[in-house]
Amino acid sequence: MSTAGAFSKVSPVRHTHHHVVVLVTAPDLKVAKALAAAVLESRLAACANVVPKVESFFWWEDKLQKADETQVVFKTTTARLADLEKLINEKHPYDTPEFLTMPALGGSAGYLDWIDASTKPAENAGEEPEADNAEG
């Protein structure tokens, strides 16, 4: 019996074509958290991992640069990708923010279902929530 076969029985993986991992760098933790909050409040991603203290080395304006940044990793669907990119471009302080997408080839069925459910637009977006009339 192969190790891959044993693992798949413990943690079945479902193949997918509509789940995406998105990388965005931010200049600092405050900006990264603000971007993550805006994205999640808009239900444009199910999850945002904020990874502080990333050293970035890159070419900018024909010079090799170094910057201390914060990495944000979003999990979303292809259906929400265009709106996610628009929000990042509108709220990000960089002229050219990193927005790099990577297709998720698969994942646990429960996790992928959770991403789908978490990124659905709220049915009554913008409306006041109904009062709970249940008696205590």
The answer to whether the predicted template modeling score (pTM) of the entire model surpasses 0.75 is: yes
CATH 3.30.70.120 for domain 13-117, yes or no, is yes
Of the chain, the percentage scoring pLDDT greater than 90 comes to 77
pLDDT for the residue numbered 11: 57
Sequence-distant (6+) residues with CB within 8 A of 20 are: 75, 76, 77, 78, 81, 101, 102, 103, 104
The pLDDT assigned to 128 comes to 43
Band of the pLDDT at 6, cuts 50, 70, 90?
Answer: very low
The mean pLDDT of 101-119, rounded to a whole number, is 95
Residue 121: predicted pLDDT: 86
pLDDT of residue 57: 97
Q: Which residues of 57-76 are buried (b: 16+ CB within 10 A; e: fewer)?
A: eeeeeeeeeeeebbbbbbbb
pLDDT tier at 126, thresholds 50, 70, 90: very low
pLDDT exceeds 70 at position 69: yes
> Do 127 and 50 meet the contact criterion of CB atoms below 8 Å apart?
no
pLDDT of residue 136: 38
| Average pLDDT of span 76-84 | 98
